[in-house]
Amino acid sequence: MLKININNETSKLESVILGSAISNGPTPNIEDCYDPKSKEHILNGTYPLEKEMIAELSSFENILKKHNVKVYRPREIIDYNQIFTRDISFVIDDKIILSNMIDSRTLELSAINYIINQVPAENVFRLSDDCHIEGGDVILCNDHVFIGIYSGEDYSNYITARTNINAVNALKEIFPNKTIKTFELRKSNTSPKENALHLDCCFQPVGNNKAILYPGGFLIKDECDWLINFFGKENIFETTKEEMYNMNCNVFSISENVVVSEKNFSRLNKWLNSNGFKVEEIKYSEIAKQEGLLRCSTMPLIRN
């Protein structure tokens, strides 16, 4: 059996599911896209090629293995996007939550069943159909669970709104000892620079007490200010709108002092280095064209 355990975003990573771009399929039609950044690159003729995304994921896998992380990969589904494993499930403590995602992505979960089946059945949870949630909206900080949501009455109009209050209430029942705090996110179906697809597109903890933050991704200033006070303004790297668009918030921690980052994030990487982090820089700019980056393409199973 697999003894999963995740309490935060930065403890030493032992095992992870890393997404796959093998048999990713052709460039999708505009009407089949579920984020505005992919639409933008299709219209511009710059949508990423499968071979480029395979190469980027391979370099990420090599870094993980260099740090002695056990890496699982999804089973191959022909002509299907399986890059963003963060969305299809997530681990809190010793329990795994299977996400209720948009209909066009439901097959993704079947590709990791061989891993889920290794977890004791009593620790596997599937929420009811009215609970919408994806793992990119769930960020762990020990006793706290931060969840990005959109609760406007026009929720159903936004393909970019992925997590609702029903799912939050369900998690509160499963984890009564956690402090669960929600953050309303800014949504746009058409402009990637005005859209926080998930919470990890505009916020992420790093190290013991630091965080990366894009305030413009939050709809309610008081909620963003709460995060700034929680970490301390002096411990926060604040991104610009352009840096958010390029996914600067979506780096990935292998441990409290090792962070994997995109090599073009020059200002962020300099800040990380100056704060004592070892930064593993890799090229990941093609995958970023689908409005996801390093955290989005991982689903940690064990951190110690």
Q: pLDDT (tens digit, 0 to 9) for every residue of the chain, 304 residues total? A: 999 999 999 999 999 999 999 998 888 888 777 688 888 988 889 998 999 999 999 999 999 999 999 999 999 999 999 999 999 999 999 999 998 766 767 788 999 999 999 999 999 999 999 999 999 999 999 999 999 999 999 998 998 999 999 999 999 999 999 999 999 999 999 998 999 999 999 999 999 999 999 999 999 999 999 999 999 999 999 999 999 999 999 999 999 999 999 999 999 999 999 999 999 999 999 999 998 999 999 999 999 9
Compute CA distances 201 → 65, 76, 189, 196, 249, whole Å: 25, 27, 15, 6, 6
> The pTM is what?
0.95
Exposed (0-12), middle (13-18) or buried (19+): which is 301, by Cβ within 10 Å? buried
Backbone angles phi, psi at 111, to 5 degrees: -75, -15
pLDDT attached to residue 163: 96
Report whether 204 contacts 250 (CB < 8 A): yes
Q: Which helix (H) or strand (E) holds 54?
A: helix 50-66
Q: What's the rounded Cα separation, in Å, for the pair 46 and 216?
A: 26
- Residue 102 is predicted with a pLDDT of 67
Between CA 71 and CA 37 the distance in angstroms is: 28
DSSP characters for 214-256? Answer: -GGGBS-HHHHHHHHHHH-GGGEEEPPHHHHHTTTT--EESSS
Q: Order of strands across the sheet with 298-303? A: 70-72, 13-18, 298-303
13-303 belongs to which homologous superfamily? Answer: L-arginine/glycine Amidinotransferase; Chain A (3.75.10.10)
Instruction: Count CB-CB contacts under 10 A for residue 246.
Output: 19
d(CA 251, CA 114): 27
Q: Are the C-beta atoms of 192 and 35 separated by less than 8 Å?
A: yes
* 287 Cβ contact partners less than 8 Å away, ≥ 6 residues apart: 21, 48, 53, 56, 57, 83, 293, 297
Between strands 258-262 and 252-253, the pairing is antiparallel
N-to-C CA span, the chain:
17
